[in-house]
Amino acid sequence: MRYREIYQRIRDAIAEGKLVAGDRIPAARTLAAELKVARGTVDAAYTLLAAEGFLIGKRRHGTFVSPSARPRRPSSTAKSFLGTSQPPDLRYLFGAPLPLTPDLPSFDQFPRKLWYRTVSGQARKSGIPQLTYPDPLGLLALRQAVASYLAIARGIHCAPEQIVITGGYAGALSLVCRMMLRPGLRTWIEAPGYYFTKSAVELVGGVAVPISVDEEGLNVEEGIRIAAEASLCVVAPSNQFPLGACLSLRRRVALLEWAAHSGSWIVEVDYTGEFRYDGQPLQALKSLDSADRIFYVGTFSKTMFPSLRLGYLVVPLSQLSVARDLTERLYGALPVLEQYAMTEFIMEGHFGRHLKRMRTLYSARRSALISAISRVFAARLDVLPASGGLHLVARLKEDENDALIEDFAGAAGLRPLALSKMGQGTPREQGLLLGFGNLPDGEALSIVRRLRGVFST
């Protein structure tokens, strides 16, 4: 197909820095005449490039290379990224992972052979019942296994019928938002917080109200002061994203009382609650939920690996029929093979052993990253003392631009994330999220040196 050649040539020119942000490209008619192809062929190529963010059309002024299109290495155009207030481009997550990407689990130490042997074993055992439409709530055996796991690991006692198997954290949060929100209803979100949360709330017409976070976690008093009537509160009590605070007991009690009193609902996001490096993991907030106000969200993306696309939601007893009705109407059922394999992986004890190994591994990788930063940056970077999760947060000086550093680091083959992009519309702090879960052993120092090279002074 000829249009693909045109498409590819322009992409290559951008990648090689021959075309840079703001450059005007030839009118489709001119290029078509020059290449002796139909006008529609060039149009198709331009449309694709525009859809992928490489080109932008300005009405009557022509077509230009987009400011967000960037060459593979830093160039003089990098200044155009200064002062961006865009949310992070989620595309950084897709494809081969770069060092320092926040919140990726270890890929090098994941027991791939054991996992795929489990998958293949389940595939061999699959018969006709495994081919038909699966229950949109998830495989019952997996829901039972997750219920047992949650009781032991997170102090949550629930019936398997309360569990919905979802497409990761995103699937679980989307489901809760569609169940509980209506246009105009307000939701507390943590600021800074996980960028996906705001998006999920707003996609169903909900209004996200950013609530600040401090060393005790979500500022519950502030939430009650500015939005007591909110319908929903999305909170990560075990390990706040991105700052890593743990919600204090005082605030846990206040939050539960608010929800019970106002008839509001809490979404407990527990995406890395399993990983804590100073003592035992804390029990989930859900373990205290005697008033049945909490939707609990967990994911296998961090404890296993992201492309598995499995997460789980614990639904309050009173909302079970709403959950069943909506999952049937949406019919977002997941492929069953992974669900069977995950069930066996848990039941055979592989999952528990893997978690135990990963806790030790991540603790060591975290220490290695802290040492390397201290050695290379000395007091130049201020690392927050978070004791869980899969990334560190380093604060920058006030006059520094974390988004610019993120861009330059990206060009240097590293993927720290700018803290300011997690601000959810509130005043933005400058900092970097530095992932250590997937940091190769023995490479912390060389990677941190590469990061140092990105800083101007």
Q: Does 53 bind its own copies (CB under 8 A)?
A: yes
Among 59, 60, 61, 96, binds its own copies (CB under 8 A): 96
Q: For 203-211, which contacts have Cβ atoms below 8 Å and span 24 or more sequence positions?
A: 203/174, 203/177, 204/177, 204/178, 205/181, 206/177, 206/181, 206/182, 206/231, 206/232, 208/424, 210/423, 210/424, 210/425, 210/426
Q: Does 419 bind its own copies (CB under 8 A)?
A: no
Among 67, 74, 134, 155, binds its own copies (CB under 8 A): 134
Q: What does each C-alpha distance from 201 to 80, 83, 172, 198 come to in angstroms?
A: 31, 26, 12, 5
Q: Which is nearer to its own copies, 318 or 457 (CB)?
A: 318
Q: What is the DSSP letter of 283?
A: P
Q: Which is nearer to its own copies, 152 or 331 (CB)?
A: 331
List binders of its own copies among 190-219 (CB under 8 A).
Answer: 196, 199-200, 203, 205
Instruction: Pick left, alpha or beta for residue 155 (phi over 0 → left; psi -120 to 50 → alpha; otherwise beta).
Output: left
List binders of its own copies among 58-87 (CB under 8 A).
Answer: none
Q: How far apart are CA 315 and CA 266, in angstroms?
A: 11
Q: Does 152 bind its own copies (CB under 8 A)?
A: no
Helix (H) or strand (E) holding 146, with range, is helix 140-154
Residue count (the chain): 457
Determine the straight-line distance between the first and last CA of the chain, rounded to whole angstroms. 49
Q: Which is nearer to its own copies, 82 or 123 (CB)?
A: 123
- The one segment of 15-23, 102-110, 349-357, 385-393 that binds its own copies by CB under 8 A: 102-110
Among 90, 228, 253, 291, binds its own copies (CB under 8 A): 90
Give the shortest CB-352-to-its own copies separation in angstroms: 20
- The one segment of 15-23, 298-306, 361-369, 397-405 that binds its own copies by CB under 8 A: 298-306
For residues 102 and 390, the answer to whether their CB atoms sit within 8 Å is: yes
Q: Which is nearer to its own copies, 171 or 242 (CB)?
A: 171
List binders of its own copies among 246-275 (CB under 8 A).
Answer: none
- The one segment of 101-109, 232-240, 362-370, 413-421 that binds its own copies by CB under 8 A: 101-109
Q: How far apart are CA 42 and CA 135, in angstroms?
A: 46
List binders of its own copies among 299-338 (CB under 8 A).
Answer: 301, 305-310, 317-318, 320-321, 324, 328-338
Among 18, 116, 413, 446, binds its own copies (CB under 8 A): 116
Nearest Cα to Cα of residue 437 among 333, 326, 305: 305
Q: Does 168 bind its own copies (CB under 8 A)?
A: yes
Q: Does 422 bind its own copies (CB under 8 A)?
A: no
Task: Determine how β-strand 391-395 pairs with β-strand 431-435.
Answer: antiparallel
Q: How far apart are CA 359 and CA 214, in angstroms?
A: 26
Q: Which is nearer to its own copies, 47 or 401 (CB)?
A: 47
- The one segment of 73-81, 117-125, 251-259, 379-387 that binds its own copies by CB under 8 A: 117-125
